[in-house]
Each structure stands twice: as structure tokens, then as C-alpha cells.
Amino acid sequence: MSRVLVLVRHGQSEWNLKNLFTGWKDPDLTPLGVTEATAAGQRLKALGLTFDVAFTSVLTRAQRTLKLILDEIGQPDLLTIRDQALNERDYGELTGLNKDDARAKWGEEQVHIWRRSFDVPPPGGESLKDTAARVLPYFKAEILPRVLAGEDVLIAAHGNSLRALIMDLEGLSGEEILARELDTGVPIVYRLNEDGSIAAKEVLKG
């Protein structure tokens, strides 16, 4: 049994390009984001990977990234499960603001704390700790058992929902995972042992 789990952050979105806090808002991919997602599919195809099931969020940028990947690997009709548990972190009152405008309103230090602390949420939003409390129970109940049973699983989601998964998979602290940058459209391929520990990891950069 191969027990492959692939995580992919969506390709560049329209709000990534504008440097806006996106959260649960639903912008589409940019042309570059489409290119990134297509390239992610090509890299997975080059490894000969196919999947038994895919998971994604309820947001367009992640779903479209997944569709472009599945088209490239020749599995356009793969069983796909969408759930808001995999949505991006909710940025609350920061959502839709340019990051420079947010700094002007609340101050650079406060915005930095909201972005880079593990457990301090922005007003009306989620911290990474809150995001993990939403993502990880779903992952452990619905996704990980499939992988451990021998299925190969693809997840297309978001920077912070994937950070929560990586923190758990790799046994990282909140501070360690906050320092981890996830590039858009770059697959991370994990091969798991039967106890859920990592046998191998490969980041498929271009």
C-alpha cells in the first residue's frame, strides 16, 4: 500500500495579486494561478501519481485548482469531496483589506501579531489555532483513515488550512508552522507509514 497524501495550495488568486486579506471571500484564480495549477498537475503526472479521492474547500480558487490538476493527470471525474472545514482561515474584519491599509488602520505591530501569532485572532476572525481546531478533526475523521487504509488522496486547499495539516503531520509547534511558507500551486507529496508517521516527503517545485 502506497498511502500517498498530496497537499496543494491553490494557484494565485485575484486577491493574492492585489495583496488583500482573502479568508472566506471567493475570488477566482488569476491567469498565473491557472498556469500554476496546470503545472502542479503536470508535475504529479510526471511522477505517475493517480488518486482514489480528492478533497477541497467550498471556495472557488481551491476547487478550480483541483479541477485543473485532475484534468492534467487524466482523472477529471475523480470522486471529489468539498467541505468548508478545509476553507482558508477567516480573517474577520481584515477580509478584503489591502495589507498596507490594515497596517495604517491598526498599526504594523498589531497586524503582524494577527498574521504571525498562533493564537491571537483578528477582530471577528480566526487565529491559526482556531483554524486548526476546525481543520484537524475533519482531517482525522474523514481523510487520514482513507490514506491509512491504502488510498491515495489529493487535497487542494489554502495556506492556513494546509498549515494546520502540516503542523499535525510533521509534529511542528505553532511557532514553527507560522514560519513555513507555502507556495501557490506547489504539490507536497507525503508517503505515510501505517501508523500515520511520514515515510517520505517531496516538494514538487518547478
* Residue-range domains of the chain with CATH: 16-57+70-137+171-203 (3.40.50.1240)
Can you give the pTM of this predicted structure?
0.96
- Per-residue confidence at 116, pLDDT binned at 50, 70, 90? confident
**Mean of pLDDT over the chain:** 96
Residue 185: is its pLDDT beyond 90?
A: yes
Q: Burial code of 1-33, b = ≥16 C-beta within 10 A, e = fewer?
A: eebbbbbbbbbbbebbeeebbbbbbbbebbeeb
User: Which pLDDT tens digit goes with each residue over 157-167?
Assistant: 999 999 999 99
Per-residue pLDDT averaged across 184-203, rounded? 97
End-to-end CA distance of the chain: 28
Residue 139 DSSP class: I
| SS3 of residue 155 by DSSP | strand
Distance CA 196, CA 169 (A): 8
Q: What pLDDT band is residue 49 in, cutting at 50, 70 and 90?
A: very high
> How far is it between the farthest Cα atoms of the chain?
53
pLDDT at 9 over 80: yes
Asked if the model's pLDDT at residue 206 lies above 80, the reply is: no
Determine the Cα–Cα distance for residues 132 and 150; give it in Å rounded to an integer: 25
Catalytic residues: 10, 88
Per-residue pLDDT tens digits for 61-108: 999 999 999 999 999 999 999 999 999 999 999 999 999 999 999 999
Q: Which amino acid is residue 178, in one-letter code? A: L
